[in-house]
């Protein structure tokens, strides 16, 4: 089971933010697999994901990790899945342990990307 550490990033909560974060994870996990957390639809490649429709994405490092989660195995390795949730003004990453070197690198890259994105977005007029 996923550990439940929620890392919330202020962000423009649009499909492009979710796609960019999925790309970052894919750079760290070359054999990455994806699943729509709402519908259960599975995607072997980033290009297959309909980002305009997906708001919550499960990301696995490889097919073995995905199969372990599908089997609800108690032996699922730590940080063998990330849960990306995009909302109107934030992106949340749910994971087991944010303090591993691999997760710090992934979270740092997501932070840098979303921080840059938010800097170049005009605030909505009140």
Start-to-end C-alpha separation, the chain: 42
pLDDT at 19: 95
Burial of 65 (0-12, 13-18, 19+ CB in 10 A): buried
What pTM was estimated for this model as a whole?
0.85
pLDDT per residue, tens digit, the chain (126 aa), is: 456 799 999 887 788 999 999 999 999 999 999 999 999 999 999 999 999 999 999 999 999 999 888 777 666 788 899 999 999 889 999 999 999 999 999 999 999 988 765 444 444 444
Q: Would you say 107 and 97 are in contact if contact means Cβ atoms under 8 Å apart? A: no
Among candidates 86, 82, 90, which has minimal Cα distance to 115? 90
Domain boundaries, the chain: 5-119
Among candidates 87, 106, 107, which has minimal Cα distance to 18? 87
Q: How far apart are CA 71 and CA 112, in angstroms?
A: 35
């Amino acid at each position: 089971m996923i550990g439940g550490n929620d890392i919330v990033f202020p962000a423009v909560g649009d499909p492009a933010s979710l796609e960019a974060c999925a790309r970052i994870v894919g750079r760290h996990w070359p054999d990455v697999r994806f699943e729509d957390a709402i519908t259960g639809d599975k995607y072997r490649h980033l290009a297959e994901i309909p980002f305009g429709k997906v708001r919550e994405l499960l990301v696995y490092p490889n097919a073995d990790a995905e199969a372990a989660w599908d089997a609800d195995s108690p032996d699922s390795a730590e940080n063998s899945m990330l849960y990306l949730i995009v909302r109107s003004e934030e992106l949340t990453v749910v994971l087991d342990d944010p303090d591993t070197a691999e997760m710090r690198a992934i979270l740092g890259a997501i932070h840098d990307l979303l921080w840059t994105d938010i800097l170049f977005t005009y605030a909505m007029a009140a």
